[in-house]
């Protein structure tokens, strides 16, 4: 079962609107076991749309079109598809009744062009629109099925989920479904991860392994194509065990909606530990990243932004002579910051960040040079030297991730 998605609208080609419909429809179709091979965007132009239909019919069983079902003259998707397959447009009575109700309720007067929205392709199945006025159509002609949906996501999404899914599931029952699992890794680059897993990736066909690089982390999506969910989970468990045997030391959590800060805050909560920070380089970014997580106040009470030598001395009580002797971008400074912050804030853990955000060098050290201090109650305080690439913002974000990693590893090790 091969499908493709055609979005119609000049506003997409001008870059005024992002094609989130293609993303949504792809997720939904994957979920139904229908494979999507192409997305295309074309403007409000009947000739180019018709040419695209000719190409799409050659290669796909299901063509999903979105956009161009509205009331204005440039909404021509329905007319174009109907003419192309030699069908007429006919009134859908349910959509017409809804249109009249809508204008009656809102006490606005209905303009003639609104009637266009209630037309569907003759002999097709009308798709009612729970949140808008334009009716859709599902119609099969020869070997191709055409699905016409409106462009606004707030109409297309509920329409698909409520009214299209059941139709497609019944019409194209899949023997097999896709079951997937996302593993998240910190501290290893995509190229290294893929090298470490090369043999495994090359050998796997079902389940498959797909790596994806995000800023400062890499995810692996394991996907099994199976008839039975239980079997799918078992295959994923087996593959995950093989992946973990090779790169498990970098693994920190599961799922698309997860993050290193979320996992770290959860671990602190679980063991009833608190954290603080003294931030120079990152200027509060570490603490505000913690603040993104709901309920973080259980484990985070506050901390310091010490952007100058004076505030390092004044807020944290660090000896000015140490800063003068070692410099602020130094192991000694990072250690003093973490140690003093932990004591002043009376927390179980503290991290500190001092370094060069760039673009210029500082104290003779190039941009990207970062010392991260880590203090733990009852342990000696340490500092690690990092060299981050890229721009100012990336350097600071990379430092925050490393700080989270230090805490998470310590919490998991101790408990």
Residue number, 125 or 188, with CB nearest to its own copies: 188
337 CB-side CA count, 13 A: 34
Residue 191: CB minimum distance to its own copies, A: 4
Helix (H, G, I), strand (E, B) or coil at 277: strand
Residue number, 37 or 271, with CB nearest to its own copies: 37
d(CA 125, CA 167): 9
324 binds its own copies (CB under 8 A): no
* Stretch of 11-19, 230-238, 318-326, 403-411 lying at the interface with its own copies (CB under 8 A): 11-19
Residue number, 177 or 192, with CB nearest to its own copies: 192
d(CA 81, CA 87): 8
Residue 87: CB minimum distance to its own copies, A: 25
Under 8 Å CB-to-CB from 1, ≥6 apart: which residues? 33, 34, 35, 61, 62, 172, 174
94 binds its own copies (CB under 8 A): no
d(CA 156, CA 163): 10
Considering just the CA atoms, what is the radius of gyration of the chain in Å? 29
Name residues contacting its own copies, limited to 161-220 (CB under 8 A). Answer: 189-192, 194-195, 210-213, 215
Site string for its own copies, 347-366 (x = CB under 8 A): ----------xxx------x
Q: Which of 363, 364, 371 is nearest to 395 (CA)?
A: 371
Residue number, 255 or 414, with CB nearest to its own copies: 255
Residue number, 272 or 366, with CB nearest to its own copies: 366
Considering only 8, 32, 34, 36, the residue that binds its own copies (CB under 8 A) is: 36
* Stretch of 78-86, 89-97, 111-119, 262-270 lying at the interface with its own copies (CB under 8 A): 111-119
Name residues contacting its own copies, limited to 224-283 (CB under 8 A). Answer: 256, 277, 279, 281-283
The token duo for 357 is 């955000």
The token duo for 36 is 């999507």
Q: In angstroms, how far is CA 229 from the centroid of its own chain?
A: 24
CB-based contact 405:186 (threshold 8 Å): yes
* Stretch of 10-18, 163-171, 247-255, 374-382 lying at the interface with its own copies (CB under 8 A): 10-18
150 binds its own copies (CB under 8 A): no
Question: CA dihedral defined by 161, 164, 168, 171, rounded to 10 degrees?
Answer: 140
d(CA 330, CA 338): 13
Residue number, 171 or 387, with CB nearest to its own copies: 387
The token duo for 129 is 């629109």
Residue 51: CB minimum distance to its own copies, A: 8
306 binds its own copies (CB under 8 A): yes
34 CB-side CA count, 13 A: 25
Considering only 33, 46, 284, 327, the residue that binds its own copies (CB under 8 A) is: 284
* Stretch of 40-48, 87-95, 138-146, 402-410 lying at the interface with its own copies (CB under 8 A): 40-48
Q: Which of 238, 233, 243 is nearest to 200 (CA)?
A: 243
What is the number of other CB atoms lying within 10 angstroms of the CB of residue 74? 12
* Stretch of 239-247, 257-265, 291-299, 374-382 lying at the interface with its own copies (CB under 8 A): 291-299
d(CA 291, CA 273): 16
285 binds its own copies (CB under 8 A): yes
Considering only 65, 345, 351, 410, the residue that binds its own copies (CB under 8 A) is: 345
377 binds its own copies (CB under 8 A): no
The token duo for 220 is 């692996």
Strands (E), 15-114: 35-42, 62-66, 89-91
Torsion sign over Cα 310, 312, 318, 319 = negative
Residue 186: CB minimum distance to its own copies, A: 14
* Stretch of 16-24, 134-142, 165-173, 225-233 lying at the interface with its own copies (CB under 8 A): 16-24
Residue number, 125 or 305, with CB nearest to its own copies: 305
CA distances from 50 to 85, 166, 251, 355 (A): 10, 28, 49, 58
Torsion sign over Cα 170, 172, 175, 176 = negative
Residue 385: CB minimum distance to its own copies, A: 9
Residue 343: CB minimum distance to its own copies, A: 12
48 binds its own copies (CB under 8 A): yes
Residue number, 344 or 382, with CB nearest to its own copies: 344
d(CA 411, CA 57): 57
Using CB under 8 A as the binding criterion, the count of chain residues that bind its own copies stands at 104
Residue 240: CB minimum distance to its own copies, A: 19
């Amino acid at each position: 079962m091969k499908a493709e998605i055609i979005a119609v609208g000049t506003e997409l080609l001008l870059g005024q609107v992002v094609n989130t419909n293609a993303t949504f429809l792809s997720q939904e179709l994957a979920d139904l076991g229908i494979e999507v091979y192409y997305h295309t965007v074309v403007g409000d132009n009947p000739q180019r749309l018709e040419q695209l239909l000719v190409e799409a019919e050659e290669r796909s069983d299901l063509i999903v079109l979105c956009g161009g079902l509205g009331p204005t003259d440039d909404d021509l998707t329905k007319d174009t598809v109907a003419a192309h397959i030699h069908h007429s447009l006919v009134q859908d009575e349910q959509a017409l009744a809804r249109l009249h109700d809508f204008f009656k309720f809102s006490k606005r007067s209905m303009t003639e062009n609104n009637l266009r929205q209630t037309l569907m392709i003759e002999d097709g199945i009308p798709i009612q629109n729970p949140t808008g006025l334009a009716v859709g159509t599902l119609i099969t002609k020869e070997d191709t099925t055409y699905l016409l949906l409106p462009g606004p996501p707030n109409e297309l999404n509920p329409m698909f989920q409520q009214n299209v899914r059941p139709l497609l599931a019944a019409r194209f029952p899949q023997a097999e479904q896709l079951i997937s699992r996302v593993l998240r890794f910190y501290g290893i680059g995509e190229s290294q991860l893929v090298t470490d897993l090369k043999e495994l990736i090359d050998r796997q066909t079902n389940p498959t392994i797909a790596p994806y690089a995000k800023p400062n982390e890499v995810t692996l999506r394991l996907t099994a194509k199976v008839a039975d969910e239980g079997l799918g989970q078992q295959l994923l468990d087996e593959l995950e065990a093989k992946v973990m045997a090779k790169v498990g030391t970098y693994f920190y959590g599961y799922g698309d909606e997860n993050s290193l800060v979320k996992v770290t805050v959860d671990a602190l909560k679980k063991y009833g530990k608190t954290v603080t920070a003294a931030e120079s380089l990152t200027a509060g970014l570490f603490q505000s990243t913690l603040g993104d997580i709901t309920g973080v106040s259980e484990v985070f009470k506050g901390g310091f932004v010490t952007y100058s030598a004076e505030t390092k001395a004044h807020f944290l009580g660090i000896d000015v002579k140490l800063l003068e002797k070692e410099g602020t971008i130094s192991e000694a400074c990072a250690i003093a910051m973490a140690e003093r912050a932990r004591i002043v804030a009376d927390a179980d853990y503290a991290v500190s960040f001092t370094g060069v955000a760039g673009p210029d060098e500082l104290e003779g050290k190039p941009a990207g040079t970062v010392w991260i201090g880590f203090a733990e109650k009852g342990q000696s305080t340490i500092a690690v030297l990092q060299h981050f690439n890229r721009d100012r913002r990336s350097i600071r974000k990379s430092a925050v991730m490393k700080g989270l990693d230090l805490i998470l590893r310590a919490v998991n090790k101790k408990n």
